[in-house]
Amino acid sequence: MWNIMSNHLLQVSFEKKRLLAVPEAGHAVLAHLFPSFDWHAFSQLLPGGKETAISVFYSREDMIYQGYTTFGYLKMQMVVAHGGRCAERLVHGEDVTDGGSDDLEKITKVNAVI
């Protein structure tokens, strides 16, 4: 399985990897700026027909056991989700991709809860 994944990643151009990595870096940087936000576990390029990337966060123990979510935490979720688009704007200027559409959906859902 790993051999198939590594062969696929070798076929992805450097520019495509860069396009995928910039938004994930934005998520990771903003998550790091909020010490009380979830821990950034890793970011990874995913194999498949459509090249995608993902950032994985682990919830902090205090958030799991308190049994509720605060407005502050929800706001942090929106900021971290928006980090990908912000990173693209910083690196690529006005030439941003549509890759962050799922991030915008997450922001919209969280905003509806607030």
Catalytic annotation, residues:
24
Q: Report which secondary-structure segment, H or E, holds 58.
A: strand 52-58
Helix ranges (H only) for the chain are 2-11, 14-33, 61-66, 71-92, 101-113
Could you tell me which residues come within 8 angstroms of residue 83 by beta carbon, excluding any fewer than 6 positions away?
23, 26, 27, 28, 29, 30, 31
* Pair of tokens at residue 50: 């459509």
